[in-house]
Structure 1
């Protein structure tokens, strides 16, 4: 007999899929007809704190948030660095490899998301399935990384605006104008988040559409130019793969330099893909979460694979790795975009402003997403007793107000850019987070292995879950391997003769002792708990039952059903 929801509908009818759900306990829930969603009434059994988040986001929000977290300035601006360091073929291989790591990580994360669509996302999973101290260390590392990168994103957006407003003599943005841009951006970014999850979802939906249209237009225009459709009618083809070559050497010459250049581009590719894991932070605030998270996870990789792999391929065909404009780019604004450089080479002069507007949207969207995820990370930590209880405070509409207020304060660090010395400190702090993405991805996959062990020990058939990958655990092992390689060797350059830099060494490896110190400190403080056996892993408490798995607003027309399928 199918389980019955609060509105009287059955699981098979309303879940949107024909699969059975994982066996999880029923929890009390209330259907709010005015809001059109299930309000989860749940109190954490360990901390006795009520989870006040509400499911206000729709399927289309989740799909576009997944894209907005990965499709941004990393591709539009910084992909040129990968071409410089590795050459067109090396950069393409690097992006494909990191894409497989991302896919493997998503396969691991998606199964846990669909089993437990709860507050805290992957931080909560690490605390529950791996070890409480692992969740504590991962959570605080990710929150720190988020709030430090937040002002950097605001600064990037302000500098991009300066593309249209620079002093004709100095070439810099007037100081008073910079103050105004930063102020306007931080107010707008904060406002979107303070309006609540629904408005955040709507904003990201619009931003993502703009970015998707932009990258699709750039790929098509780039292909036309490459085939000789530009004003100069020069058919380029794969000319630059032959001269200066498919692979570039960095930072040393020869075959060794080509390998190290390719390895360096892996870190750049990871930066471009970074943020996809934040999809898990929305699991507690989306309607019909298991079906929607499943769809987002299955479609996300293929969409990003098209945008990123095709994007880096087109750039590598249009711009040689030794192009002086690429080598001298500052990394800010449309002038630094490899796409703009490519179109300028072809004689197309009307695109920079259009591309700059799209890049501005990307930078602002990144800041918006970072603030959202940072506040939910801190809220999730508090909910599980790993941060002060005040940060689990929510308003009546489910907004985690205390966590959001604290996270928002870090936006003010953006004003440090107005001082040269403070700007140096801010850049240094931001660089400390450069390898955090690989630490996070690796921890997610290790957590999945313990989740898998818990399912086996408790007799839970993973094949009946909303999301199941028959190849597991091999994808998890693959991602863990590459994450370890990149964490251990990302600072290889300082060990090359004559290239030692104490600051570069610290930036490359400081996250390792920080995470270790967080783990050990929490482990000692909480009584030196052992890693739980599979049978000891908590697979049931505070996990929503099937009563949340229904669509409160199902499409009724063919057009609506088509867009529901598309988005």
Structure 2
């Protein structure tokens, strides 16, 4: 049977299987389905011309006996994964991106758009969690798109998302330069170089080092946002340098509450998508999470409620307290954080400077998370089965389970940040925001497509949805189509202002360039697989075939491979957790597990 059960060693540094990405059409979960594809695909006009031998072992089978190198380690605890999810979303998008959103769309636009995108991302996270709990692999939604939807599309998606993460690192380093300009305009690039070395150094040690750094930086951000919310309320009711009650007055100034009309409103979607981005990369941590069958559902159920709470309250207070025409809120050379502005309005320059420092740590945290995620995506591409989608060198890891070549390749893209010296850090960051925001939207659409096909395949093969380890019942039937349709609509309309009233080529490219690039990459993959421009008929005679799809057949996709098998230490951890919750001082433990 062409399947591999995803297992975990019983030690704390237990290791994940190298097969982090898989093709659903390449192996099946029953003898009958295996026999049904044992012929060469070209012998039939029904299926894709994918060249493989179902009797041959996959990469996962072939390398089961290798040493610790080329393997990831399960070193992330539930406590760390929960905070990592927050760290990936609460970063430059919230602390700086809200300034651009407010300046271009106005207070009503950011509140409405952030609410809409927040709900879409929440549904997307539930869909991803369903698959990540069942198949906790390092490639996450990229692997699911390949396995359940289309290998060629998954190939393009994976490389696009890797570029997204790499550009995110560049964007965070560029944002760091803008934050540093609050104190000094001199030698900002040199400090970015120091930040780059710091991030690469942390990620090259061990996944535990990355996880622990993210935990404490995320905790600092949460405390900061709570303080900001309290301060924002006080500033609004009159505790400010002018001693006046602000209320909703900034919603009634000239141009507000909707700045720029429909085009201004639509443009906020991409910055909101940038702000909420990386939530989906929670699934990437599944390949290095302890006891993912239990910990992934817990994290998914709880973490986004915390995030959406922080986002919506923060965005509301920013719109109330900061006017959309505030000087230097967002321009070509400077972008000032609305969080810093609120503390300035409170009349404390020292507090504003401290807030800017905290935002700087959040930028490092976001860059750290993006670098980690991009590294794992590239690693997943290099270990894809049965055909690698990236050079083999990127599958090499250190003895500590760090994919060092993939790390260096991902971090090298961050050299883009040095372009800020010539373009203007505010302008460059705006373009990077667009690129990352659109890439995030493509990722959400892909999760919806993969979930749509996965659920259909699960039921076609006679399974009940209740058999899944985690499956929110209220999203069944409509969740995946909703994500695909609404996100696609947003992706298409958000670049309206780059076309009307004046066509702006550079902005237009930053909004839409990834669509043709992904199309070309998908077609290129089909060409290399023999699915485009050539082919043979059933008798072996050459015939002209301009196009042939490689969509996965849900009736034969392997639904067994990569399922996680719980170990004895997982049960011991669960028993200890329940013992703590039910014993003396159980309420303290329940509070700890709720927030940590």
TM over 0.5: yes
Q: Aligned-pair distance for 1:276?
A: 0.7
Deviates more, 1:184-193 or 1:534-543: 534-543
- Give, in angstroms, the shift of residue 422 of structure 1: 11
- Shift of the alpha carbon at 1:443? 0.9
Aligned to 1:378: 378
User: CA separation of 1:140/1:40 partners in 2, compared to 1, >3 Å: closer, same or farther?
Assistant: closer
Task: Answer yes or no: is 1:30 the counterpart of 2:9.
Answer: yes
Q: 1:140 to 1:369 in 2, by over 3 A?
A: same
Say whether 1:494 aligns with 2:498: yes
The CA distance in 2 between the partners of 1:408 and 1:454, in whole Å, is 37
User: 1:380 offset after TM fit, Å?
Assistant: 0.5
Alignment of 1:355-504 (within 5 A): 355-384=355-384, 385-419=388-422, 431-471=434-474, 472-497=476-501, 499-504=502-507
Q: Which runs of 5+ in 1 are unaligned?
A: 1-23, 167-171, 251-256
Q: How does 1:33-44 map to 2 (within 5 A)?
A: 36-40=12-16
Seen in structure 2, the aligned counterparts of structure 1 residues 561 and 319 have a Cα distance that, compared at 3 Å, is closer
Residue 275 (structure 1) shift:
1.1
Q: Where does residue 213 of structure 1 map in the other structure? A: 223
The alignment of Structure 1 onto Structure 2 pairs a total of residues equal to: 521
- Give distance in 1, aligned partners of 2:489 and 2:17: 43
- Equivalent position of 2:212 in the other structure: 202
- Relative to structure 1, is the Cα distance of residues 269 and 424 closer, same or farther in structure 2, using a 3 angstrom cutoff? closer
Residue among 109, 119, 123 paired with 1:90? 109
**Preserved CA contact (<8 Å) 1:446 1:476:** yes
Are 2:210 and 1:191 aligned? no
Aligned position for 1:535: 555
Match of 1:505 among 500, 505, 508: 508
State the 1:297 CA deviation.
0.9
CA distance in structure 2 between the aligned counterparts of 1:320 and 1:116, rounded to whole angstroms: 47
2:293 is matched with which residue? 290
Q: 1:543 to 1:104 in 2, by over 3 A?
A: same
CA distance in 2, matches of 1:404, 1:223: 42
**Root mean square deviation of aligned Cα:** 2.7
| Paired residue secondary structure (1:536) | coil
Asked whether the equivalents of residues 331 and 337 of structure 1 are also in contact (C-alpha less than 8 Å), the reply is no
Q: Distance in 2 between matches of 1:243 and 1:82?
A: 17
> CA 1:433–1:274 in structure 2 vs 1: closer, same or farther (change >3 Å)?
closer
Native 8 Å contact 1:95 1:266 kept in 2: yes
Q: Which residue of 2 aligns with 1:17?
A: none
Q: 1:422 to 1:58 in 2, by over 3 A?
A: closer
Give the direction of change, closer, same or farther, for the CA distance of 1:235–1:418 in structure 2 (3 Å limit).
Answer: closer
Residue 315 (structure 1) aligned with residue 312 (structure 2): no
Q: 1:99 is matched with which residue: 113, 118, 122?
A: 118
Q: For residues 343 and 415 of structure 1, do their structure 2 counterparts lie closer, same or farther at Cα, with a shift above 3 Å needed?
A: closer
Q: 1:156 aligns with which of 151, 172, 175?
A: 175
Aligned mates of 2:175, 2:331 — CA distance in 1: 18
Q: Distance in 2 between matches of 1:419 and 1:527?
A: 44
- 1:413, distance to aligned residue in structure 2 (A): 4.3
Q: Distance in 1 between matches of 2:252 and 2:427?
A: 40
> CA separation in 1, counterparts of 2:340 and 2:189?
27
1:46 correspondence with 2:75: no
Deviates more, 1:530-539 or 1:67-76: 530-539
**CA shift for structure 1 position 552:** 6.0
TM-score by length of structure 2 reads 0.81
* 1-structure distance, mates of 2:358, 2:120: 27
Structure-2 separation of matches of 1:520 and 1:84: 40
**2:156 paired with 1:137:** yes
Secondary structure of the 1:163 match is: coil
2:271/2:437 contact within 8 Å kept? no
Equivalent of residue 225 in structure 1, options 221, 226, 235: 235
Report SS of the residue matched to 1:546.
coil
